[in-house]
Structure 1
Amino acid sequence: MNTEVFITCAVTGAGDTAGKSEHVPVTPEQIAASAIDAVKAGAAIAHIHVRDPGTGKGSRDPKLYAEVVDRVRSSGVDVVLNLTAGMGGDLVLGGTDKPLPLDDAGTDMAGAAERLVHVEELLPEICTLDCGSMNFAAGGDYVMTNTPDMLRAMAKRIQAAGVKPELEVFDFGHMVMVRDLIAEGLIDDPAMIQLCMGIPYGAPDDPATLLTLAGQVPPGSVFSAFSIGRMQLPYVAMAALAGGNVRVGLEDNIYLSRGVLASNAMLVERAVTILEAMNARVLGPEEVRAKLGLKKRW
């Protein structure tokens, strides 16, 4: 069991949740405010996506990221910022009979440089790197697409920028990619890994699968684990028991309990309660920087 645990709050994500809960932040002002509230509740890391303020849909507009980051950094609240770099790998085929041409409305494929514009401009302490492709979530013709060459190119740019990549692992094959990136010198020690569980069609979130995947984490690495929906809060305990750290937030789950909509701060508060009841100590931002070898950016 990990007895010194940090909490990441995934503040908003890019999924179709903004219309399902008034607590899901959409505008840069709302996203920054929700991140700050989550930190005050006990999160050390804020994982940030942005959304189009007009539609509520996920966006990768660098100007939206810049506004969120500026609002958080100017707030006086200490937090480790973690910006997503997952946008730009969205492939939607045209259908089962005619996969090509692609569905232009859903497809958003961008090169390594374009996917990292906001990271290289804003220099957060952490950014995500999805370590493989998969048939993601609801099915249909959508594929989350991250080829080995794309991942190597992105890893090189992230390393050159002095940003720590959070290596997102959705299934066992993704851990092979993690090991390759480490072996090729593209990931600085200690590697930071996020085990993303329970997302169709990746690794299921049963305890046996979690423990097996956690057992594949390379020595010396720091890892967190989370699941989605109703399993998010049970995974606070499961992740710590497996030796990892914790992620909660409205990106992955919008409920505190059955029928009770949560805010990010409420989910973090519940995570703190669970961990402290297990006699685990919740780490603050400076302790996380020391653990991960990060330097404060402002």
Structure 2
Amino acid sequence: MPLTPSSEVFITCAVTGAGDSVVRSDKVPVTPVQIAEAAIEAAQAGAAIAHIHVRDPATGKAARDVQLYREVVDHIRASGVDLVLNLTGGMGGDMTMGPPEKPLPPIGSRTDMAGATERLAHVKALLPEICTIDCGSMNFGNGDTVMINTPDTLAEMARSIQALGVRPEIEIFEAGHLRLAEHLVQQGIIDDPVTVQLCMGIPWGIPDDLNSFMALLNNLPKSWIFSAFSIGRNQFPYAMLALLAGGNIRVGLEDNLWLKRGVLATNKDLVEQAVAIAHTANARILGPSEVRKKLKLTKRW
């Protein structure tokens, strides 16, 4: 399909994620205050949206404790810095199987499976503008970990998110996830404007080569609003690709730790680079209030 570059874009900063990046970079925020301050700095650098996970302050490992989310959100809201809050809904859907000859029972210490209501407890408590849902299941990284999101679970989560007045952001990691997203929309479970994130290059999802990217774009309904990103060294190229394809930009330490070879980045660094990329393409960067209008979001604070 013909593509028209975006003349205006919004930038999402994925601040910390849930991976093992803490052991690879001391720039990754861990405590609620660190995560909140990183989001605030990203907003001041030009990000309109902060995509937020939380971590156990003692271990740095991914968590889904409502109180940790509350501390992050309260700190951001008290700062006076305007920012669209996007809380993850992806936690609680990970299962690590046992060894190949004895896959069951799963390895409990590395498995986190929860029901739809429990996975959204922080969203109900804090009412962000956006909440992500991972639109499908897939093998996730090396080893025996599987990301599990069944159609019924996703439908229940999407209904619950929208009933709270929160906008679902659909995370697409694979071509089949796009088909499932279309099904949810056709069933009337997800309302317009449909908002998606194309998550490229995640092992073992869709690769981030241009043919694969175009395959998703060619099947993406024209009315849907999308952002796209890739990980590691391809984060910045994908910022430009997303813009040139008519979409929006995501950067952040969830997806990439490096500013350039040998130089660890902060979230602020990555957002500043995204801003420079957008300006190079003569695209205007949307602020939080403009994004709320574009995505029909409700600000609760």
- TM bin (shorter chain): over 0.9
- Unaligned 5+ segments in structure 2 are none
- Which consecutive segments of 4 or more residues in structure 1 shift more than 4 A? none
Report Cα offsets for 1:3-55 as digits up to 9, x if no partner.
11100000000100112111100000000000000000000000000000000
**Structure 2: how far apart are the matches of 1:120 and 1:183?**
25
Where does residue 43 of structure 1 map in the other structure?
47
Deviation of the 1:150 alpha carbon = 0.6
Where does residue 116 of structure 1 map in the other structure?
120
Where does residue 286 of structure 1 map in the other structure?
289
1:182 to 2:185 alignment: yes
Q: Report if the CA contact (8 A) 1:207-1:238 is conserved.
A: no
1:72 to 2:45 alignment: no
**Structure 2: how far apart are the matches of 1:12 and 1:149?**
28
1:136 to 2:140 alignment: yes
Deviation of the 1:267 alpha carbon = 0.2
Where does residue 216 of structure 1 map in the other structure?
219
TM-score by length of 2: 0.98
Residues 87-166 of structure 1 aligned to structure 2 (within 5 Å): 87-137=91-141, 139-166=142-169
**Structure 1: how far apart are the matches of 2:33 and 2:204?**
33
1:232 to 2:218 alignment: no
**Structure 2: how far apart are the matches of 1:245 and 1:212?**
18
* Residue identity opposite 2:292 in structure 1: R
**Structure 2: how far apart are the matches of 1:217 and 1:191?**
11
Where does residue 11 of structure 2 map in the other structure?
7
Q: Report if the CA contact (8 A) 2:15-2:38 is conserved.
A: yes
**Structure 2: how far apart are the matches of 1:97 and 1:259?**
41
**Structure 1: how far apart are the matches of 2:237 and 2:94?**
30
| Identity value in percent | 63
**Structure 2: how far apart are the matches of 1:214 and 1:67?**
37
Size of the aligned set, in residue pairs, is: 297
Q: What CA RMSD, in Å, does the superposition of the two structures yield over aligned residues?
A: 0.7
Which of residues 83, 86, 93 is equivalent to 1:82?
Answer: 86
**Structure 1: how far apart are the matches of 2:91 and 2:298?**
25
Q: Report if the CA contact (8 A) 2:43-2:49 is conserved.
A: yes
Residues 243-258 of structure 1 aligned to structure 2 (within 5 Å): 243-258=246-261
**Structure 2: how far apart are the matches of 1:33 and 1:262?**
15
Which of residues 207, 210, 222 is equivalent to 1:207?
Answer: 210
Q: Report if the CA contact (8 A) 2:165-2:298 is conserved.
A: no
Where does residue 265 of structure 2 map in the other structure?
262
TM-score by length of 1: 0.99
Report Cα offsets for 1:146-202 as digits up to 9, x if no partner.
001110111111111110000000010000111011011111110000000001111
**Structure 2: how far apart are the matches of 1:207 and 1:272?**
23
